[in-house]
């Protein structure tokens, strides 16, 4: 067992839930694992095998007694993470995992993508804060696109009609990791110490071309998809319309629809992968797709 005590924020989210399951599975490795939820949300965790701290995300009292905080918050709270870090540091937290789990947003080509703006702000804040706070460290987990979400309706797939309308052109490089593997990489990473203020861990379950990923889906399902490629500018026009209407979420979402076939939906666009630091074999996409479609049919 380590002397690590973990507080997880966003435990009911798309990633937070599998993260919590992985923490529960590896509970013996940690001194303490708990969820932080606001009082209005805390009751939804009452049947789970986990300690729940009901309190404000911005009050140091909520963070007392924890060494590590994992923030798996979604878009609405993304830009508010600095306030969580302030509260956590005041309470004595030594290590903060920011809500990341994306492609490497340090890549120049996607650096200015609207979807990532809040994450860039949090990165800049963490760099500055850690440089002024002795003993405080942060981790950014970079994982590529979630395999389960990569060929989703959001990116233009229709799994009943067996069609796909994708912004971009064929042949783009892509990196994906399945959600349970992302949870495992994240939980395992807590036991990998490092020197210095901050680190970026880049892991990827599968790397290839988007066409290859679609072929994996076709093999898993035993079907063929009719794919249409749409000019990227159409998404950019919709993004701009949303911006002018002050529709922040719409603006964010149209910006990221172009990521799939951009060639930059990868974890290793800037630095090398760190998969060698971990001792398990990730799922390949056809296994993930087989699992997802089996679950959907069950």
Ligand X SMILES: NC(=O)c1ccc[n+]([C@@H]2O[C@H](COP(=O)([O-])OP(=O)(O)OC[C@H]3O[C@@H](n4cnc5c(N)ncnc54)[C@H](OP(=O)(O)O)[C@@H]3O)[C@@H](O)[C@H]2O)c1
145-146 and 5-9 beta bridge pairing: unpaired
In this chain, which of 23, 96, 97, 101 binds ligand X, going by CB under 6 A?
101
Q: Sign of torsion, CA 34 5 124 58?
A: positive
Shortest Cβ 134–ligand X spacing (Å): 28
Shortest Cβ 239–ligand X spacing (Å): 17
Closer residue to ligand X, CB minimum distance, 95 or 117 = 117
Contact between residue 16 and residue 8 where contact means Cβ atoms under 8 Å apart: yes
Q: Is 8 helix (H, G, I), strand (E, B) or coil?
A: strand
Closer residue to ligand X, CB minimum distance, 28 or 34 = 34
Return the range that interacts with ligand X (CB under 6 A); candidates 94-102, 161-169, 186-194, 280-288: 94-102
Does the protein bind ligand X through residue 10 (CB under 6 A)? yes
Total residues contacting ligand X by CB under 6 A comes to: 23
Does the protein bind ligand X through residue 16 (CB under 6 A)? yes
In this chain, which of 7, 15, 88, 183 binds ligand X, going by CB under 6 A?
15
Does the protein bind ligand X through residue 77 (CB under 6 A)? yes
**At CB < 8 A and 24+ separation, what contacts does 129-134 make?**
129/82, 129/85, 129/89, 130/197, 130/198, 131/197, 133/89
Helices (H), 99-231: 108-111, 117-132, 147-150, 179-189, 210-221
Closer residue to ligand X, CB minimum distance, 149 or 225 = 149
Shortest Cβ 1–ligand X spacing (Å): 27
Contact letters (x/-) for ligand X, 26-65, by CB under 6 A? Answer: -----------xx--x---------------x--------
In this chain, which of 52, 82, 106, 149 binds ligand X, going by CB under 6 A?
149
Shortest Cβ 214–ligand X spacing (Å): 16
Does the protein bind ligand X through residue 102 (CB under 6 A)? yes
Does the protein bind ligand X through residue 14 (CB under 6 A)? yes
| CB neighbour list of residue 245: distance below 8 Å, 6 or more residues apart | none
Nearest to 132 by CA among 197, 70, 81: 197
Cβ count near 274 (within 10 Å): 20
Strands (E), 116-270: 137-142, 145-146, 157-158, 163-167, 173-177, 198-202, 206-209, 226-230
Residues that bind ligand X (CB under 6 A): 10-16, 37-38, 41, 57, 72-74, 76-77, 99-102, 145-146, 149
């Amino acid at each position: 067992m380590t002397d690590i005590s973990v507080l997880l924020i966003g435990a009911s989210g798309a990633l937070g839930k599998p993260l919590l399951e992985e923490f529960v599975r590896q509970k013996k490795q940690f001194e303490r694992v708990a969820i932080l939820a606001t009082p209005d949300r805390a009751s939804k965790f009452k049947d789970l095998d986990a300690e729940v701290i009901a309190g404000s995300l911005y009050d140091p009292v909520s963070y007392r007694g924890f060494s590590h905080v994992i923030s798996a918050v979604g878009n609405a709270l993304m830009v508010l993470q600095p306030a969580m870090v302030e509260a956590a540091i005041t309470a004595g937290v030594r290590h903060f995992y920011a809500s990341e789990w994306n492609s490497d947003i340090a890549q120049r080509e996607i650096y200015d993508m609207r979807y990532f703006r809040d994450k860039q702000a949090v990165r800049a804040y963490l760099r500055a804060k850690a440089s002024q706070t002795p003993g405080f460290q942060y981790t950014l987990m970079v994982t590529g696109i979630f395999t389960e979400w990569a060929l989703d309706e959001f990116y233009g797939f229709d799994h009943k009609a067996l069609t796909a309308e994708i912004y971009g052109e064929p042949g783009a490089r892509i990196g994906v990791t399945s959600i349970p593997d992302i949870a495992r990489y994240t939980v395992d990473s807590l036991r990998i110490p490092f020197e210095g203020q901050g680190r970026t861990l880049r892991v990827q379950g599968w790397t290839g071309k988007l066409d290859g990923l679609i072929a994996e889906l076709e093999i898993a399902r035993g079907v063929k998809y009719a794919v249409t490629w749409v000019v990227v500018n159409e998404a950019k026009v919709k993004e701009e319309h949303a911006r002018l209407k002050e529709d922040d979420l719409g603006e964010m979402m149209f910006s990221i629809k172009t990521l799939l076939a951009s060639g930059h939906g990868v974890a290793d666009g800037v630095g090398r992968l760190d998969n060698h630091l971990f001792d398990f074999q990730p799922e390949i996409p056809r296994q993930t797709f087989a699992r997802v479609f089996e679950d959907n049919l069950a």
